[in-house]
Amino acid sequence: MYKISLITGDGIGPEISESAISVLNTINDKLDLKFEITKLSAGDKALEQTGKALPDETINVIKQSDACLKAPVGESAADVIVVLRRMLDLYANIRPAKSYPHMPALRDDIDMVIVRENTEDLYTGKEFRVGDSAVALRIISESASKRIAKYAFETAKQRNSKKKVTCVHKSNVMRVTDGLFVKACTDVSKDYPEIAFEQMYVDACAMNLIRQPEQFDVVVTTNLYGDILSDESSQVVGGLGMAPAANIGDNFALFEPVHGAAFDIAGQDIANPSSFLLSIKMMLDWLGSKHNDSRCFQVGQKLESTIFGLVKSGIKTKDIGGDKTTSEFTKHITDNL
């Protein structure tokens, strides 16, 4: 039995959380794997109701769980996810961009992953005013850069693909901070002679994600560049509705969709739950590795292939060219699992 904490979030968060709960309950009922799910509040609604975007009770339950699923939160996102990433030292943000069949995508042959440093860079929010100016501190450490580089090379080693790591930076301008990052990645690359290593400026990477995305396997980069590039890479393969993410530390991990709370479509039962459900697949893979539990890998595989199969046969939500509602699409998944 795995204990799963689930932040239901704001905007479309509660709707895609219901979809996630249905899928986990179906796994409980039909497959050889059991979950105990605890719903938690955090985000704009929690702030309104309790005065805290991340209530203490939520933190305590997360810390006692085996893994956390987090639906998107609204305006208070920085007070929830950025705090959780640092508090739980979830230093690796993993964002795969994989082509699915029959998607309104720019490319249908992409399988890459962005490994984004998750604890430093401009995301620490160290900003202040000095007279006429506003200043932001960008801190990049050698230890965090080497740690994420190692994670990227280990990821490349495990993947059945090109066995290549691309370090993305802008060290021609940010000579000290990005200079340190690219040097740390280059140093770590020497421990992985079997993995090809290259470096690329972030502007060139943004262009190449459109022009030649097939050249990428594992991209390793700093926090802000990774955030921007992963929205771009998810669009290349069909949009935010199919883009999962994992925040991984040495002892704990949190899984969430790449997209935000999407208030424009909230409450209409039209959100695509796939990004959140594919985050469950990433959670199953992580639990499988951590607990040496092959059932997790099998169920994760089954969940992904069920989503694949439905999309392939044209059963999909509106954002990717279909006509199914969130609840109808979820029902198709639970019926087919």
Residues with catalytic roles: 123, 170, 203, 227, 231
**Distance in Å, CB of 270 to ligand ATP, minimum:** 7
Residues 182, 319, 324, 330: which binds ligand ATP (CB under 6 A)?
319
244 vs 288 by CB, closer to ligand ATP: 244
Residues 7, 167, 271, 311: which binds ligand ATP (CB under 6 A)?
271
Residue 238 binding ligand ATP, by CB under 6 A: no
Give the burial string for 32-44 (b: 16+ CB within 10 Å, else e): ebebebeebbbbb
**Judged by CB under 6 A, how many residues of this single chain contact ligand ATP?**
14
**Distance in Å, CB of 12 to ligand ATP, minimum:** 6
Residue 77 binding ligand ATP, by CB under 6 A: yes
231 vs 293 by CB, closer to ligand ATP: 231
Residue 241 binding ligand ATP, by CB under 6 A: yes
Specify the 3-state DSSP secondary structure of 190: coil
Q: How many helices (H) and strands (E) does the chain have?
A: 12, 12
**CA distances, 234 to each of 41, 209, 248, 315 (Å):** 27, 10, 19, 20
What are the backbone dihedrals phi and psi of residue 46, each rounded to the nearest 5 degrees, phi first? -65, -40
82-85 contacts at long range (C-beta below 8 A, 24 or more positions apart): 82/123, 82/125, 83/54, 84/54, 84/247, 84/254, 85/118, 85/119, 85/247, 85/254
Residue 265 binding ligand ATP, by CB under 6 A: yes
Structure tokens at 26: 């179906």
List, in sequence order, every residue forming a beta bridge with 201; answer none if it has no partner: 169
- Site stretch for ligand ATP (CB under 6 A), options 63-71, 94-102, 161-169, 265-273: 265-273
**Distance in Å, CB of 24 to ligand ATP, minimum:** 18
Residues 23, 90, 229, 261: which binds ligand ATP (CB under 6 A)?
261
Residues 260, 288, 307, 316: which binds ligand ATP (CB under 6 A)?
260
Structure tokens at 314: 């044209």
The CB density around residue 208, as the number of other CB atoms within 10 Å, is: 16
Residue 280 binding ligand ATP, by CB under 6 A: no
Strands in 106-178 per DSSP E: 111-117, 127-130, 133-136, 164-169
Q: Rounded CA gap, 317 and 54, in Å?
A: 31
Residue nearest to ligand ATP (CB): 260
Residues 193, 251, 264, 294: which binds ligand ATP (CB under 6 A)?
264
Measure CA of the first residue to CA of the last residue in the chain; give whole Å.
19
- Site stretch for ligand ATP (CB under 6 A), options 165-173, 174-182, 216-224, 262-270: 262-270
- Site stretch for ligand ATP (CB under 6 A), options 84-92, 119-127, 271-279, 291-299: 271-279
Q: Are 7 and 41 in contact (CB under 8 A)?
A: yes
Residues 262, 278, 280, 299: which binds ligand ATP (CB under 6 A)?
262
Give the burial string for 238-273 (b: 16+ CB within 10 Å, else e): bbbbbbbbbbbeeebbbbbbbbbbbeebbeebbbbb
12 vs 156 by CB, closer to ligand ATP: 12
Residues 20, 200, 240, 296: which binds ligand ATP (CB under 6 A)?
240
What stretch of H or E contains 251? none
Residue 279 binding ligand ATP, by CB under 6 A: no
Residues of this chain that interact with ligand ATP (CB under 6 A) are: 12, 77, 240-241, 259-262, 264-265, 271-272, 275, 319
